[in-house]
Amino acid sequence: MPSLDIATVRSAFPALSSGFLYADNAGGSQCLADAVAHISDYLLNTNVQLGADYAVSQKSTSRVASGADAAKELFNADSVDEVAFGSSATMLVENLTRAIEKDVNEGDEIIVTGEHEVLVYRPANAGPWKRLAARRGAIIKLWRPSQIAASPNNPYAVSLQLEALLPLVTAKTRLLAFTACSNILGSVVPVKQIVRAVREKARELGVPKLEVCVDCVAYAPHRRIDVKDWDIEYCVFSVYKVYGPHASVLYIRAPALTHSLSSLAHHFLSVDTKPYKVQPGGPGYEIVYGCTAVPPYLKSLAPSGALADAYDLIAEHEQTLLTPLLAYLRGKTDRGVRVVGDEYEGPSRVPTVSFVVAGERPIRSKDVVKAFDDRGDIGIRYGHFYAYTLVDTLQPKLNVDDAVVRISFVHYNTVEEVEKIIKVLDEVLA
C-alpha cells in the first residue's frame, strides 16, 4: 500500500512553512493555498450577484454551484439539492431545528450525546435540540459514554457504546443526534452499526417516525463520510476543519427535506425540494467557491484518485502520529497522567488526544498548555471544547473550565512534530 508523500502534502499549506507546530487542528485546520486562490479569484473577477443573464453573472453562478457539487461529493449525497451551506455547524443545526419544529410533537423524545454541543445539549447555554424540545414540549435523553473494558483502571477511558444507547430508544423516540467522532475522546463511532441497530429496535417498538442527525465536524478530517451507506437524514461538518475556508455544510436527505422541514426562506420562493429551506439568504459566494478546492486536494493524495483511498492513506499516516503519543502518555500513569478517551491506537481512534494530570502532584491543564505557549512555536489547547456535558459528567469530577489538555493532529503533521511535543511534555511532567 502506498503512503502519503508528506513533503508534497505540506507544500499545499503555506502556513506550515513558518515552522510553527500546529497541534490544535480539531479546532480548525490550516487552509489550502488553492482554496485561498479560489476565494481571491472569485472576488477579483466574478464578484457579482447570481442568476443574471450577463456573462460574468453566469460564470459566478456556475462557480457557486460547484461548491454544492464539492459538498455533495464529500457527503456522498445523491444530489446537490440535499446540501446547504452556512457559516458554522452551530448555525446550520439551529436552522435545522427551526425548520423541523412543526414536525416534532409534545412528548416526542430526542436522544443526544454530550459532545461537540453545537449539535446537542448544554446545561448553561442549551444547544439547538434542547431549545427545540423546550419549544415543543419534547423530551431530551442523553446517551452517555461508558467505561472502555480494555482500560478498567482509567476512569476517564470512556466511549459511546451501543449497549448504553439501545435502552434509551422507546416508542416515543423521534430523533437521534450524535457525533461520529468525539472532539475530546478521539473515538470513532461506528455510525452504520449504530443506525442499523436503532432503526431495528424502532421498528420492533412501532416508532412512527425516526430520523438521525450525525455531527461529523470532528470526523471529516480523518474518515470518509457516506450518508447513503449510513442511512441517515441529516449530517453536518465544517469545511474549515477539512483544509478549506470558514464554512460549514449540512446534508438533508431528499424525503426529509420535503416532508419533515418547513421553509425558513422568503415566503414567495418555491423551495419544497431545495436546501434553501434551511439556508435563508445566500451564503458567502466566494467562500463557497473556495470550498471547491478541498475534494481535488484530498483525491490527489491517492494514486488512484479515489476519495476513499485517500482517506485510507490519511488514516494510516495518522496512526504513525497517534502511536508514539499514546504510548508516551500511557507510560506516565505513575505521574498521574490519564488519557481521556481510548488509551490505545487503532482504526477506531483518531489523533485527537486529551489527557489530565492528576494524582499526588496534579498539574492544571491550563498550566500544561502554558508551558507550550511560553515556547512560542507550538499550539495546543485546554478546556472543554464545547463538550461541556461530557466533561462535567466524568468521574472523578474535573473542573469543567480547566477540563483537559488536547493535542490534535491531522495528516499534514509529522512524526518529528510528535516527538517535539513529547519532549516538551517530558519537561512539564518532570
Rg (CA), the chain: 22
- 1 within a domain of the structure (yes/no): no
Report d(CA 149, CA 146) in Å as an integer.
9
- 39 within a domain of the structure (yes/no): no
**For the chain, what is the domain count?**
2
Interval 94-123: pLDDT, tens: 999 999 999 999 999 999 998 765 544 333
- 286 within a domain of the structure (yes/no): yes
- 42 within a domain of the structure (yes/no): no
Looking at residues 363-381, what average pLDDT do you find?
A: 98
Q: Do both 290 and 346 map to the same domain?
A: no
Of 297, 317, 346, the residue at which a domain comes to its end is 297
By the 8 A CB rule, do 68 and 80 touch?
yes
What residues pair up with 313 in beta bridges, in sequence order? none
- 43 within a domain of the structure (yes/no): no
Q: What φ, ψ does residue 201 adopt, rounded to 5°?
A: -65, -40
Q: What was the pLDDT predicted at 383?
A: 96
Q: Do both 280 and 378 map to the same domain?
A: no
Looking at residues 44-48, what average pLDDT do you find?
A: 98
Looking at residues 243-249, what average pLDDT do you find?
A: 97
Q: What was the pLDDT predicted at 266?
A: 82
Give one DSSP letter per residue of 290-346, joined into a string: HGGGHHHHHHHTSTT--HHHHHHHHHHHHHHHHHHHHHHHHTTGGGTEEEES--S-S
Q: What was the pLDDT predicted at 149?
A: 96
Q: Do both 150 and 231 map to the same domain?
A: yes
Q: Do both 380 and 250 map to the same domain?
A: no
Q: Do both 247 and 268 map to the same domain?
A: yes
Q: What was the pLDDT predicted at 55?
A: 98
Q: What was the pLDDT predicted at 281?
A: 81
Round the average pLDDT of the chain to a whole number and report it: 95
By the 8 A CB rule, do 412 and 9 touch?
yes
Q: What was the pLDDT predicted at 121?
A: 39
- Asked if the bond preceding 396 is cis, omega within 30° of 0, the reply is yes
Q: Which is nearest to 322 in space by CA: 341, 350, 356, 347? A: 350
Q: Do both 292 and 311 map to the same domain?
A: no
Residue 390, pLDDT > 80, answer yes
Q: Do both 115 and 221 map to the same domain?
A: yes
Q: What was the pLDDT predicted at 1?
A: 65
Interval 158-215: pLDDT, tens: 999 999 999 999 999 999 999 999 999 999 999 999 999 999 999 999 999 999 999 9
Report d(CA 286, CA 417) in Å as an integer.
33
Q: Do both 274 and 375 map to the same domain?
A: no
- Expressed as residue numbers, the domain containing 363 is 6-31+305-424
CATH number assigned to the domain comprising residue 20: 3.90.1150.10
Q: Do both 316 and 291 map to the same domain?
A: no
Report d(CA 26, CA 294) in Å as an integer.
17
Q: Do both 99 and 142 map to the same domain?
A: yes
Q: What was the pLDDT predicted at 280?
A: 86
Q: Do both 292 and 331 map to the same domain?
A: no
CATH number assigned to the domain comprising residue 103: 3.40.640.10
- 252 within a domain of the structure (yes/no): yes
Q: Do both 194 and 325 map to the same domain?
A: no
Q: What was the pLDDT predicted at 81?
A: 96
Calculated CA dihedral for residues 342, 343, 345, 349, nearest 10 degrees: 20
Looking at residues 9-32, what average pLDDT do you find?
A: 98
- 256 within a domain of the structure (yes/no): yes
By the 8 A CB rule, do 111 and 202 touch?
no
The residue behind cell 494524582 is 359
Of 297, 331, 354, the residue at which a domain comes to its end is 297
Residue 71, pLDDT > 60, answer yes
Of 279, 297, 315, the residue at which a domain comes to its end is 297
- 430 within a domain of the structure (yes/no): no
By the 8 A CB rule, do 355 and 405 touch?
yes
